[in-house]
Amino acid sequence: MHGDINSNMKKFIRVFILISLISCNNSITKEINLPDHVPQISATIIIEQGATDFSALVSASSSLDSDIGPDVIENAVISIMSDGNNLYTLDSNHFNSSTSLYHSSFLSSDTTNTINIPDGQIDLIVSSPNYDEVYSATYMPEKPNPIIIYTPEVEVNSENEGFIDIKDQIDISFPINNLNIDESFLISISAFYLDVESQEIIEETMSFQAQEPAIIEEEECMLFYTQDPRVRELNILSNQTDDTFDSECNGSFCLISDESVSTISNGLENITFFIYRIEKPDYYVLQYMICSISSLSPSLAEHYHSVDSYLGQSGSPFAEPDLMFSNVSSGFGCFGMMNTYTEKLN
* Residues 222 and 87 both lie in one domain: no
Domain final position from 294, 320, 335: 294
At 3 the pLDDT is: 47
Whole-number Å distance between alpha carbons of 242 and 190? 12
- Evaluate the CA torsion angle 119, 259, 255, 165 in order and state its sign: positive
Neighbours of 47 (CB within 10 A): 26
Q: Which residue in 61, 55, 58, 53 sits closest to 74, CA to CA? A: 58
At 212 the pLDDT is: 81
Residue 18 confidence (pLDDT) above 50:
no
How many domains does the structure of the chain reveal? 2
* Residues 193 and 236 both lie in one domain: yes
What are the pLDDT digits (tens) for 225-255?
999 999 988 876 544 333 333 334 444 789 9
* Residues 283 and 301 both lie in one domain: no
* Residues 125 and 250 both lie in one domain: no
Q: Which domain holds residue 170?
A: 147-294
Q: What is the mean pLDDT of the chain?
A: 81
At 339 the pLDDT is: 97
* Residues 75 and 167 both lie in one domain: no
Residue 1 confidence (pLDDT) above 50:
no
Average pLDDT for 185-194: 94
The CATH number assigned to the domain holding 334 equals 2.60.40.10
- The proportion of the chain whose per-residue pLDDT surpasses 90, expressed as a percent, equals 52
The radius of gyration of the chain's CA atoms, rounded to the nearest angstrom, is: 23
Residue 65 confidence (pLDDT) above 70:
no
Categorize the per-residue pLDDT at 94 as very low, low, confident or very high, splitting at 50, 70 and 90: very high
Alpha helices (H) along the chain: 2-21, 298-313
Lowest mean pLDDT among 81-90, 187-196, 248-257, 280-289: 248-257
* Residues 179 and 261 both lie in one domain: yes
In degrees and rounded to multiples of 5, residue 124 shows phi and psi of -125, 130
Residue 36 confidence (pLDDT) above 50:
yes
* Residues 328 and 274 both lie in one domain: no
* Residues 118 and 31 both lie in one domain: yes
Whole-number Å distance between alpha carbons of 194 and 330? 49
* Residues 330 and 214 both lie in one domain: no
* Residues 267 and 213 both lie in one domain: yes
Amino acid found at 246 = D
Categorize the per-residue pLDDT at 112 as very low, low, confident or very high, splitting at 50, 70 and 90: low
Categorize the per-residue pLDDT at 75 as very low, low, confident or very high, splitting at 50, 70 and 90: very high
* Residues 157 and 89 both lie in one domain: no
Average pLDDT for 297-318: 78
* Residues 39 and 96 both lie in one domain: yes
